[in-house]
Amino acid sequence: MTATTVQHATGALVLKEAILENFMSYEYARIPFSTGMNLICGPNGAGKSSILLAISVALGQAYTERSKKLADLIRRGKDIARVTLVFDNSPSADGRRPVPSIRSNELTLTRYMKVDGDYWYQINFSPASKAEVDDLLSEFGIDPDNMLIVMHQYMVEEFTVISPQEKLRLVESATGLSRLRDRVLEAYEALRNVMSEEESIKALMEESQKTLENWRLEYDKILRRGKLLDEKARLQLEHGWALFRKQQSLVEAMQQRFRSVGEEVKANAERAERIGAEASSTRERLESSRFEYRRLFLELVEEEKKGEGENPNVERIEQRIVRAENAITKGIDAYVDLRVREALARHRLEELEAERREVERRASEASTTLEELRASAEKNGPLVETSRVPEDVEKDMEANQIAIALLGTVLENAKEMYESYQKTFDEIAEKAKQVSINRDMALKELDVRKGVWRKGVEDLMTKVTEAFRENMDKIGAIGLVNLIDVDDLENSGIELLVGFGGANPTALNYYTQSGGERSVSVVAFLLALQSSIVSPIRAVDEFDVHMDPRNREAFLRMIVERAKRDPSVSYICITPGQIPPVIEDASVLVVQNNYGISTVGIVTKGAG
């Protein structure tokens, strides 16, 4: 059997057992349930609330107060968790099962959760979708997201602060009246659709001439867009060749610079050679002067050896020696100067050669870019002559793009639409008559459905108000239920009026009443609803929060008595307190936590 074959359910669907595996503080636990009262007690932190949380998760709840991710509910260190609910699907006296399409005596609903965030369902061990699970449970009025059916920890206080409108929606959902509201909303939606259609048709009729003109304008936009696109193509072509021309000028300039530097290299090479040759000649003359100087010096020595007395040759030789010394000094200065000039010339030659290589490299790169620009420009079209620089063309391209953008959406079928509107006008007028008839019918249907919904809500509130008053009277308090804005579906709601210690009833809210007064008021209202709630599973966690011992025992008795009157309903109550010995006819489950592992002990019915 697959979940898609589930038929409409009949009879009661009784919860028999919940099986928790690697769920929060539970490694493995089988928790039995029965019709009537199921009391779950134990110390704080033992894992009591986790049981109700597991049931809600298995029933399809996605967001919980404990965690915003299902993966956080998996026991630490484990990769997967599983919660299984076992329901009694045995046939009744007439032989019919609660879920006829499932032939076994048990119906199991299982939800798997993985640490990677994945999860899935099974119905009787066959894969099922979330929608299939919701459809099955909705047949029995089971909604884990409705706090009047499953009231988790802290929700007693939360019910106090929600708006009157939210309170009424929860009541309608829990009691099955939401289907009447849905029918009214469906009628509203049908009426809105008809009225929207009527308004559209009227607008079409009134604006037909304007619409025709609008389509003519749309056709003009097509023509303008064509011209702009032609201009765009022309500008793109011009821009491509303008870039080419700009780069071409750059290449030519670099080539000219290469030639100029080459000429400078040649001139400096010749100059360096000329200076070097002149320096060599100067060195030769210097060596000749030095040789002459040594020869004269030796000649002077020979003349001086000839004896004392005046020797005109000595004086003459000395004069020639002085002239030779001066020639040597001048030669040295001239030679050094020439060598310095030669070194500077050759250094400049190296610089020019380096510059020539750099210019050659850049010219090569520019030539490569030039060919790329040529190939790019040729993709748009053949060469066009332009005197404009690329920047000027780009300004025109930007203006062209803006003009295209300003056209907005261009409808290609404008001409055809313009020609067809005259023909459709008569059809629109005829349709307007039919829509007017449909509107009158929708208004009548809406009035009928609103009347049915209002009567259902008023009858329910009459019944609930009496039960709420009786429940509050048992603890010496006053309780009333006030139905507000019943003529306004959207703003309709209910508010609880309570009075304690002889005070006049006032609206229940977080600021007026104490915590204990709020708790007893909410639980008293919840009890007043029980006879009208559809779901075979009802649960409340820490209903006795803030209650004093007397009120706690009184309401515990009321809950047990209520459970006795609903033999096909499983009531689940979680309390951290001790169970009074006087409480009878209740299955008591005791939760303990030892070394981080929660376990459940069972106390038989009737035990204290």
pLDDT in tens, 48-104: 999 999 999 999 987 655 556 888 899 999 999 999 999 999 998 888 999 998 889
In a domain, 387, yes or no: no
* Amino acid type, 257: R
Inter-residue long-range contacts of 392-400, CB under 8 Å, 24+ positions, other chains counted: 393/235, 393/238, 393/239, 393/242, 394/239, 396/235, 397/232, 397/235, 397/236, 397/239, 400/228, 400/231, 400/232, 400/235
Q: Which residues are CB-contacts of 352 (< 8 A; sequence separation ≥ 6)?
A: 261, 264, 265, 268
Choose the final residue of a domain: 348, 382, 416: 382
Pair 249, 135 in one domain: no
In the chain, the percentage of residues whose pLDDT exceeds 90 is: 43
Report the pLDDT value the prediction gives residue 5, as an integer from 0 to 100.
38
pLDDT-wise least confident of 7-11, 114-118, 527-531? 7-11
Q: For residue range 124-145, what is the model confidence (pLDDT) as tens digits?
A: 999 999 999 999 998 899 999 9
Give ∠ CA 235-236-241 in degrees, rounded to 5: 95
Give ∠ CA 165-69-138 in degrees, rounded to 5: 50
Q: How far apart are CA 269 and CA 417, in angstroms?
A: 83
What average pLDDT does the chain have?
A: 87
pLDDT at 605 over 60: no
Give the residue from 146, 142, 24 showing the smallest Cα distance to 85.
142
Instruction: Supply 359's token pair.
Output: 């210019």
Task: Find residue 74's DSSP bridge partners.
Answer: 23
Pair 138, 249 in one domain: no
Instruction: Identify whether the C-beta of residue 51 lies closer than 8 Å to the C-beta of residue 20.
Output: yes
Q: How far apart are CA 298 and CA 185, in angstroms?
A: 139
pLDDT at 503 over 50: yes
Confidence label for 3 from pLDDT (cuts 50, 70 and 90) = very low
Q: Which residues are CB-contacts of 552 (< 8 A; sequence separation ≥ 6)?
A: 544, 575, 577
Residue that has been written with the tokens 């009928």 in this structure: 448
* Amino acid type, 390: P
In a domain, 560, yes or no: yes
Q: How far apart are CA 292 and CA 583, in angstroms?
A: 147
480: left (phi over 0), alpha (psi -120 to 50) or beta: beta
Percent helix, strand, coil in the chain, to 5, is 60, 15, 25
Report the pLDDT value the prediction gives residue 583, as an integer from 0 to 100.
65
Report the pLDDT value the prediction gives residue 67, as an integer from 0 to 100.
53
Confidence label for 13 from pLDDT (cuts 50, 70 and 90) = confident
Report the pLDDT value the prediction gives residue 11, as an integer from 0 to 100.
64
User: Full-prediction pTM beyond 0.75?
Assistant: no
In a domain, 116, yes or no: yes
The burial of 433, by beta-carbon neighbours within 10 Å (0-12 exposed, 13-18 middle, 19 or more buried), is given as exposed
Instruction: Identify whether the C-beta of residue 589 lies closer than 8 Å to the C-beta of residue 31.
Output: yes
Give the residue from 497, 528, 589 showing the smallest Cα distance to 34.
589
pLDDT at 545 over 50: yes
CATH number of the domain at 55, please.
Answer: 3.40.50.300
Question: What does the radius of gyration of the chain's CA atoms come to, in whole angstroms?
Answer: 53
pLDDT at 579 over 90: no
In a domain, 459, yes or no: no
pLDDT at 33 over 90: yes
* Amino acid type, 97: R
In a domain, 76, yes or no: yes
Q: Summarize the confidence of residues 550-571 as an average pLDDT.
A: 89
Pair 132, 16 in one domain: yes
Confidence label for 574 from pLDDT (cuts 50, 70 and 90) = very high
Instruction: Supply 229's token pair.
Output: 């696109």
pLDDT-wise least confident of 125-139, 298-312, 528-542, 586-600? 298-312
Cα 576 → chain centroid: 41
Report the pLDDT value the prediction gives residue 7, as an integer from 0 to 100.
43
Beta strands in 89-234 (DSSP E): 106-114, 119-123, 126-128, 150-151
Among 16-20, 36-40, 93-97, the range of highest mean pLDDT: 16-20
Pair 131, 249 in one domain: no
The burial of 192, by beta-carbon neighbours within 10 Å (0-12 exposed, 13-18 middle, 19 or more buried), is given as exposed
Pair 133, 253 in one domain: no
Q: How far apart are CA 377 and CA 233, in angstroms?
A: 12
Give ∠ CA 34-38-39 in degrees, rounded to 5: 160
Choose the final residue of a domain: 382, 412, 427: 382
Cα 444 → chain centroid: 45
Pair 257, 372 in one domain: yes
Cα 119 → chain centroid: 21
Instruction: Supply 284's token pair.
Output: 């030769």
Q: Summarize the confidence of residues 102-119 as an average pLDDT.
A: 93
Beta strands in 429-555 (DSSP E): 478-484, 493-499, 506-507, 537-541
Q: Summarize the confidence of residues 419-427 as an average pLDDT.
A: 74
In a domain, 26, yes or no: yes
Report the pLDDT value the prediction gives residue 521, as an integer from 0 to 100.
94
Q: How far apart are CA 197 and CA 201, in angstroms?
A: 6
Higher pLDDT, 321 or 529: 529
In the structure, how many helices (H) and strands (E) does the chain have? 11, 15
Report the pLDDT value the prediction gives residue 225, as an integer from 0 to 100.
86
Q: How far apart are CA 475 and CA 166, in angstroms?
A: 27
Report the pLDDT value the prediction gives residue 424, as an integer from 0 to 100.
74
Domain that holds residue 37: 1-142+535-608
Specify the DSSP element, H or E, that contains 22. Answer: strand 14-23
Report the pLDDT value the prediction gives residue 387, as an integer from 0 to 100.
86
Higher pLDDT, 389 or 604: 389
Instruction: Supply 399's token pair.
Output: 């203006």
Pair 127, 250 in one domain: no
Q: Which residues are CB-contacts of 69 (< 8 A; sequence separation ≥ 6)?
A: 117
Instruction: Identify whether the C-beta of residue 100 lies closer than 8 Å to the C-beta of residue 10.
Output: yes
Give ∠ CA 75-76-78 in degrees, rounded to 5: 70
CATH number of the domain at 296, please.
Answer: 1.10.287.1700
In a domain, 404, yes or no: no
- Beta-strand relationship, 586-594 and 493-499: unpaired
In a domain, 130, yes or no: yes
pLDDT-wise least confident of 318-327, 336-345, 423-432? 423-432
Report the pLDDT value the prediction gives residue 120, as an integer from 0 to 100.
94
Choose the final residue of a domain: 326, 359, 382: 382
pLDDT at 308 over 70: no
> What's the Cα-to-Cα distance from 272 to each of 266, 278, 337, 339, 357, rounded to whole Å?
10, 10, 13, 10, 20
| Other beta carbons within 10 Å of 59 | 23
Task: Find residue 88's DSSP bridge partners.
Answer: 14, 106
Give the residue from 269, 405, 292 showing the smallest Cα distance to 342.
269
Higher pLDDT, 85 or 306: 85
Higher pLDDT, 432 or 524: 524
Q: Identify the DSSP state of 74.
A: B
Report the pLDDT value the prediction gives residue 1, as an integer from 0 to 100.
37
Q: Summarize the confidence of residues 469-481 as an average pLDDT.
A: 94
| Total of domains in the chain | 2
Report the pLDDT value the prediction gives residue 2, as an integer from 0 to 100.
39
Report the pLDDT value the prediction gives residue 184, as an integer from 0 to 100.
93
Q: Which residues are CB-contacts of 590 (< 8 A; sequence separation ≥ 6)?
A: 41, 42, 600, 601, 602, 603
